[in-house]
Structure 1
């Protein structure tokens, strides 16, 4: 090999390594730009947070459905409602609304009817919020909002309610009239659900204000944990490899509009026998267990379970992500899960899972193992053809007198999360 050839060859290797490095950095930056991961970066990595987590991204609907437009403010949404579909100018808002209202992960959506009061009560408009994350079990729950806020107006609204500002480790914290340790105190005379931070029970949760983030919780210790994360003194869930891996897997096939995580004690309950089985009469219980255990293979125990609702240009999917430490366990799970889907029968509806999925436009599950920095995610994609804008706009519910038969957006995701809450996900059981 000539000297010039060797130099050329070495130069080529250096260029290739540099391109690989740049590609890895770009992928990392792309992951860190995900709103879900940005919000998890505010969540303390402890047992109180590692429960059930719900994520809703209103703004993502515009990315998943490019012709959709989220209302700029509550006034514009009211104008859209008053128009009653007469003007084509409101079609983008109508499309956004028909997609978003079928989602179930928004805590704020429950009190949307009181949104006209929000600017006076909390200093921001309902549609200033672009993403929300709620997690933890009451009274240790937390609500986190991300969006476009005028913090001067938020501060003014809090001041009018008797809140005072504190600097805690360089983090801006607002405490109610009776202090940050009184967030759990109920006062039904002050009940105002227009305040998403405890207003449904007249509580005054302490809050963190920082740039585009608003974080509130009734629990003082939980608030202090959030302050420690914001101050950079303790790790967040975004630092946890299993959460990063789950977010990377859930966002690789499309735009993520909502997500749900199971961790800690509620995840451990997946190893318990379904309560429907345990409460059944003895003979019925015996028949159910005999049927389940026929050709049974144990699913390796996973350390995190997540669900996602995604869409791309042509497809929509409800996704399931199971996170493992070991590649061998993930590969074994990826072999077992399709067999379980093919044979599982819902204990709630008494229907085969394959029929339930077919009703929702899913023909066959796609199961793959996704590696992410030493974590292995079994990603189950339950994919259907994406419903067209025209069909979504024509869709009305039975309550609205509708007769158009389509699969509304988010249908598979809704089924997955509802089944988890009903403990009807035996095909993911690890017993």
Structure 2
């Protein structure tokens, strides 16, 4: 496989060590909290990456949607370079000249009012839980210490102690208790179960509009509308975690846009940092975020000038609508390609825009084994939950590159 990308000459970060040597060197000094595929990326541009030996790979994962705009998108890189020459960090002890514009643009894009800037996706989720609880006590009138949040089975919102407390994935929880109380889990895509779980203590319903880690699980049409109606009627907040599904991935700016739903609280991350810096945000109605007062919550790096400049460049790209259109149009190509593979190694798949969960026949191999075979063909993907692959290429991918990836999948399944 060849790519049209010409990479610059390699720097000295890896010295003269080979991929195998670098992988072995990590083992004694890097915590083993991941099981990466055996590829050592040294350079990247657009939809392609290159290892230290110069082998090129088509990236069909895009950093779990953190690289929606591809590796080193020139407009985002330029914005980062420009800001690096000015100021990178002030902390929120002082104002900076980039935060207001970033927050104004993000509020306008989402149809909401206020922004709480953070860094990682998990920080955004933790922040939203705190805000929802405080809103429940100050606005809804829930008795102190009694607020609850309803979540969905199969959720993935991060890996902090509080978040794994309401995970239903035992692998995420084992060995990390005692767990934070105050959460109730109900089946995903089940409005009746959700309504039964909401009571006078409920501060919020927190869901992913599409469950990513679970295998790109897409709810029935009308589910998100139902969640919006139910939370409004029963007097609690609707928090939509769009950290993976948002910012063009599904063919719309947000996954909730497919049902024209506006949640009370929206969580963004990953692609908001353009693949350069970690940027996340809690975006909400004014009456929700206004419960925070100085000293209630904070982040040294949240809203720093560099992240605000990069985030603003991302919002510039989204404002054109080009990436949403590409995800929708090429999503049809992806859908047709996966449909053609169904019954010949693919048991089932779920796709929306340029995002798909592909269930592989276990008789052919585990998701990890198929990922390794695709690696040998020059295509990078990631498995989840046994024999399911996740496909989430950069939204800059071409139709030809998409066909290349689908052909590689057909080859390894055969």
**Normalization by structure 2: what TM-score?**
0.26
**Normalization by structure 1: what TM-score?**
0.25
Compare relative contact order (CA 8 Å, sep 6+) and give the higher one, 1 or 2.
Answer: 2
More helix by share: 1
Greater Rg, structure 1 or structure 2? Answer: 1
